[in-house]
Structure 1
């Protein structure tokens, strides 16, 4: 029974809490005696079928024997309404037995007096029937559903009118699984789970638990040895690292206020919309230095980050991974709990409120999602049930040499189902607007970053990872089917064809792909001294040869400001004024170029040092007019991009682009026209030398007045304030193969954008 109404249905049958693995029995030849071997296994937390020993057992006509493991108890009583029946202690380590009479299975509580003298009362988990059905377990193999997070994990709910948590975990090769936590003093003898053998799922309903407690799974592998305590793979909340416990939370029911946003999201076509993404590492965007340099909370981020993004004109926030991860230095790219928002910034509900606030401000929220690999941390997924369950056993397939991580076994149906359900979880449960999928190339190629002999070819002898390809297609099909209006974005750095093409045409099915080639080429060009740029002009133009082969996003991401690369500003040549002018011109070039936009935090105001994940951005730089000028450039470009269909409505269509000046490498000048779906025209011209150019003629496709809508050399940005006096009237003077032309002043190291009026 799934958890849609927070209520479980008892399993049909004779009313006993029998193990789904085999019918319930007393566990011995005598109906009132537990076999010594079974008792020894129970007390050693090494019994694979605890329900065959514990809980209520019918031992005669209208007679029941109740058995419980209570290591903490000095004495215990069975409580049935107003009646109390003392337990008899049958084992020194805390095995208790009581007998009662009655026709039906008794609903009872156990009252415990501890050795410390405290008294408590609780319902017995082994007094309840199963809270899931066989079809629930079987359905976990259906790739594309959301049942993994509806069935597995710690689900808050009610069974037989009693509130509690139902635990379920996939560990098909385990000999025994117990849930341990604060509620049982982390004692694996107290709450061993039942096994559904057909699906390898272990399950137990523990009554009386409330949200907030910590828990893990104690697992004995197939050889009988204990594996390290494991965090719940489907935990909805987790402890703040370096602590590694899962937190009882359940799916919950957040009071969303974004019905309007969610209702209209599916009606939009992202390919024809303005998309400008602000990529953020939540832990270092801004900190609180006066309070020990602590992180901002999700609530504080909602109050500061969202208004900032709105004012700056970005349409989306893209978060570096916030699925719970153990090591700050991984930036989230080595996650352990894929269903839990990191506790570094607050609770799951506070994260939901952050997303809700973004939607209220008209901002979409994207998540960097990491399905390609996972870390070796002992509490994580590696060798989860004592075997290579989530990862390939062969290191040539299952170990990532570059990152020291495990690689998911995409050929195992349950693993694929787990990952696809996780993608749906973030889009549906937390209302996120898209996923940027990390390291796609590492999934597509079996020989990724491997030498000969270090990888295994596919069944056709090739290097394509056929199982990963199938997984990516199924992920995109599931997300676009069940979360209309969301987007998936591939970080894919090779020339793999059809990454953002539909799966029915043979593509991978992503909505967009990062244009890594554009980023590398253009940054290489910008780093050259202007006197040498004429020899690298092809780095500006080459990207247009393939610009419309995919639905591209132009990324200036976090990867470009780490590992000794310096900041964007620091990579610009020249003196201080020229560095800023180059950066402003580059941003103008980028926003005028076909493709959606992405900029990592700090770049928008010219951060001078390389990004440090342990420190806040250098917001004090905005006191400098040159840094503030860069910020204003990005703000104004975003608002121009949003308001100008010519600059976005045909971002991914060749019909929206026309070369005007592509071959003036001697002057390092480049110009093109952008055309909107409604006939709108924008002209983008960049001069990448410090030499102003007066009377520079550029052909244009139509007559009329061309308003100078943006000039990166404007005085308000810190430029020399050269320009075109608000715009130019097109002259009936043929140039560059066009019937009309503009006689322009091109400022030094600047990009100018004109919009045709009328």
Structure 2
């Protein structure tokens, strides 16, 4: 007992009790390798062990035997030899040789800790969380987590029977980061953190905020991800990305919910995984001519019914569709097929699950303390406290993780309006004004400017797209000009106006002609994307085809005419999956799209039209290159509300190519309809949504029309099919 007593010299009873009860905040002060009175001693906490020997790491020879210093499993004793060591633990039914986690020195560098505290560490996925690595030549995992107000943090998992007493972590000073290297484990290991809050209470075990992999719901553990870089083959894509995603490039987006695009009914309705989506989704999107796939959030989320918009794992691809490297493979294969990848990303709020970010260290760490700032009444979620440097840095680092680690091409930021206004969806007295007494959320404004500046600095050519539903000025204006710095903004006003128009019976449309034209009043105030997103086909709003009035033939004709109008109207394009096949049902995240509808020529014809619209949009610079140029659009003559006809030109300024677009939004065919044009000659009909191949009646202009002219004026006499959009290409570009 004398050797044990000497080995425990200077360690008080209270400290030992705190350690064995899992309340000690500095385990390295007791455990591991120490000098006591000029003698080397080793202490190890092994609850349930019968004995512990110390072995030389180099040759495995025994250099000491530890004796029990506390019946809970604390062992201590002198060691004669110097140098690295291992422990041989004698359990009741086994003997285990293992490295001692408390034999390793400091892990994170001072610069890392400084940047974390500043909120400017943009590679947290390579710093915090679980990093599979070697330390002093020993293979294991370095764990690190930010929990500044905790009394004690332990890493728990299958490797220690989820016992929070066994592997308490070391606190790294003012940064509030806890760290520990656990030898002998690696990728695939499940883990969480057990945290003792400032009041001394043990919190529910927490998933890792910076985990890069996680169990598929409903399981909630974090998983150690592989650290080896993915073998990317998309160098050419990334080199050309800035050109592909420029404001004058064709960008047409197919929005997808990965779990319900296609389910394998012959296998119980299971989801496709990422590698199966490579084989099925990627060629489908390429064949239809879309330039991008946009996924509803694929970050880890506990409740599938949130569609991913209540995210908890901001650094982890959801385990529902495979491992992180499988998602990387999907992105790589998209790039090989000429398709960009956009991810919906949610920095506004997070769910209240006890094992997640809420009250993470026993205090409102990631969220605001005041519910008037920190609780979303609409969604029953918590709001990130972006005024705190560490939280702002955490969220921005999440964005950079997807862009840098996974080569994602763009982020579409969800619910921007809810972040910009302190009184968003709140009554008087339910919100806290800013320091000037206003409703603007100044912290969010600074966050967006910082986010967008960092993305453009670190990932040139990547896009950040705002889902912002108000008239906040300068959403896509550069930061240096006082804007928020986004690259594009969803045009929610255009979408609501035009759908409201299309849902009306044609006989009444002449009274609301402005709903289709008003978008041009502000079309160039921002860089817009025209979205027909998932939000428009859920919660009783009806599918795209069901929104259209009339019998089935008229519904399809209306939708074809609307798509033709949309694809030719200024702005980048987005269509939610199922819209291209005229799905009758509202979207259901638990069910597959109704692919059998394509046996019907009306549905397959609509799909064919969407593909042809994408190809026309990409092939004609007059349409895509002037999306942000006011000189690229001109109305063709006065408004014709009485006939519900819309006619406009898309053109390359200063004598370049020109397209004429005419939409007849009534079921009445019109012959000899006059449209004044800038030049005489033959105007070739390059698209007609009433074509028989699309399921239409095949009424049109026989391939084109010759413009008449007199007294310096030219005009076309056109046949306008019912409920249809036609596109004609001018003679200077088309020739005969």
TM-score (norm 2): 0.97
Question: Helix, strand or coil for the counterpart of 2:456?
Answer: helix
| Aligned ranges 1:41-440 → 2 under 5 Å | 41-61=18-38, 63-80=39-56, 81-84=59-62, 85-102=64-81, 104=82, 106-115=83-92, 117-268=93-244, 270-440=246-416
Contact 1:238–1:340 (8 Å) recurs in 2: yes
Q: Which of 154-163 and 48-57 deviates more?
A: 154-163
Is residue 682–residue 705 contact of structure 2 (8 Å, CA) maintained in 1?
A: yes
Is 1:593 equivalent to 2:569 in the alignment? yes
2:28/2:102 contact within 8 Å kept = yes
Distance in structure 1 (CA, Å) of the matches to 2:355 and 2:227 = 22
2:708 maps to which of 721, 726, 731 = 731
Distance 1:144 1:724 in 2: 61
Which residue number in structure 1 is paired with residue 509 of structure 2? 533
2 CA distance for matches of 1:82 and 1:282?
A: 51
Matches for 1:662-677 after TM superposition, within 5 Å: 662-676=638-652
Q: Is the 8 A contact 1:656 1:675 kept in 2?
A: yes
Any idea what the Cα deviations from partners look like across 1:704-729, whole Å, max 9, x if unmatched? 32211110000111111001111122
**Contact 1:27/1:38 (<8 A) preserved:** no
After superposition, the C-alpha distances for 1:159-181 in whole angstroms (9 at most, x for unaligned) are 11111111111100001100101
Please say if residues 71 and 94 of structure 1, whose CA atoms lie closer than 8 Å, have aligned partners that are also in contact. yes
Q: 5+ unaligned residues in a row in structure 1: which ranges?
A: 1-25
The aligned counterpart of 1:39 is 16
Correspondence 1:752 to 2:726? yes
Q: In 2, Cα distance between the equivalents of 1:474 and 1:331?
A: 27
Q: How does 1:523-602 map to 2 (within 5 A)?
A: 523-602=499-578
For residue 156 of structure 1, give the secondary structure of its aligned residue in structure 2. strand
Q: Per-residue displacement from partner, 1:329-354 (whole Å, max 9, x unpaired)? A: 00000011100000101000001000
SS at match of 1:603: coil
* Whole-angstrom distance in 2 between the partners of 1:78 and 1:30: 14
Q: Measure the CA separation in 1 of the matches of 2:680 and 2:135.
A: 75
Secondary structure of 2:366's counterpart equals coil
CA distance in 1, matches of 2:8, 2:211: 39
- Aligned CA RMSD, in angstroms, stands at 1.6
Where 2:639 maps in the other structure, the secondary structure is strand
Q: Is the 8 A contact 1:659 1:671 kept in 2?
A: yes
Distance, in Å, in 2 between the alignment partners of 1:704 and 1:217 is 74
Name the SS of the counterpart of 1:87 in structure 2: strand
In the alignment, the residues of structure 2 paired with residue 256 and residue 383 of structure 1 have an alpha-carbon distance, to the nearest angstrom, of: 38
CA distance in 2, matches of 1:473, 1:733: 55
CA distance in 1, matches of 2:165, 2:74: 10
Once the two structures are TM-superposed, the CA of residue 112 in structure 1 deviates from its matched residue by 1.6
Tell me how far 1:196 sits from its aligned partner: 1.1
Q: How many Å apart are 1:27 and its aligned residue?
A: 14
Taking the aligned partners of 1:453 and 1:383, their CA distance within structure 2 comes to: 25
Give TM-score, length-normalised by structure 1. Answer: 0.94
Are the aligned partners of 2:368 and 2:374 in contact in 1 as well (CA < 8 Å)?
Answer: yes
In the TM superposition, what whole-angstrom CA distance separates every residue of 1:294-339 from its partner, at most 9, and x where no partner exists? 0001000011000000000000000000000000100000011100
Q: In structure 2, how many angstroms separate the alpha carbons of the residues matched to 1:87 and 1:729?
A: 99
Q: Which range moves more in the overlay, 527-536 or 156-165?
A: 156-165
Query: What's the secondary structure of 1:518's corresponding residue?
Result: helix
Q: 2:475 corresponds to which residue?
A: 499
Q: Are the equivalent residues in 1 in contact too, given 2:4–2:68 (CA < 8 A)? A: no
| Contact 2:119/2:392 (8 A) holds in 1 | yes
Query: Deviations along 1:409-445, whole A, 9 cap, x unmatched?
Result: 0100000001111111101110000000000000000
C-alpha separation in 1, matches of 2:472 and 2:237: 34
Q: How does 1:648-659 map to 2 (within 5 A)?
A: 648-659=624-635
Q: What count of residue pairs does the alignment treat as equivalent? A: 726
Contact residue 28 and residue 34 of structure 1 kept, 8 A: no
**SS at 2:580 equivalent:** helix
Alpha-carbon distance in 1 for matches of 2:499, 2:194: 51
Find the aligned partners of 2:249 and 2:513 in 1 and give their Cα distance.
30
Aligned partner of 2:695 among 718, 738, 741: 718
Matched residues in 1 for 2:301 and 2:338: separation? 29
User: Is the contact made by 2:243 and 2:249 (CA closer than 8 Å) also made in structure 1?
Assistant: no
Deviation at 1:89, TM superposition (A): 1.4
How far did residue 662 of structure 1 move? 5.0
Is the aligned partner of 1:604 residue 2:572? no
The farther-off stretch of 231-240 and 125-134 is 125-134
Distance in 1, Cα, partners of 2:472 & 2:567: 26
**Secondary structure in 2 aligned to 1:377?**
coil
Q: Distance in 2 between matches of 1:403 and 1:701?
A: 53
Mapped partners of 2:638, 2:690: distance in 1: 22
Specify the SS of the correspondent of 1:198. Answer: helix
Cα distance in 1, alignment partners of residues 451 and 572 from structure 2: 22
Kindly state the Cα deviation for residue 661 of structure 1 after the two structures are TM-superposed: 4.0
SS class of match (2:50)? strand
Asked if 1 retains the 8 angstrom alpha-carbon contact of 2:297 and 2:308, the reply is: yes
Residues 363-419 of structure 1: CA deviation (Å, up to 9, x unaligned): 000000000000001111110000000000000000000000000001000000011
Equivalents in 1 of 2:700, 2:710: separation in Å?
21
Q: Distance in 1 between matches of 2:450 and 2:713?
A: 49
1:23 aligns with none
Farther-moved stretch of structure 1 (250-259 vs 553-562): 250-259
Q: Determine if contact 2:54/2:79 at 8 Å carries over to the other structure.
A: no
- Give the corresponding residue for 1:448: 424
* 3-state SS of 2:683 partner: strand
Counterpart Cα distance in 2 of 1:474 and 1:553: 22
| Alpha-carbon separation, structure 1, partners of 2:6 and 2:666 | 94
Distance in 2, matches of 1:132 and 1:666, equals: 71
Q: Which runs of 5+ in 2 are unaligned?
A: none
Q: Say which is worse superposed, 181-190 or 28-37, in terms of deviation.
A: 28-37
In 2: Cα distance, 1:144 partner to 1:262 partner? 25
Is this contact kept in 1: 2:650–2:658, CA < 8 A? yes
Task: Check the 8 A contact 1:270/1:487 in 2, yes or no.
Answer: no
Partners of 1:130 and 1:205 within 8 A in 2: no
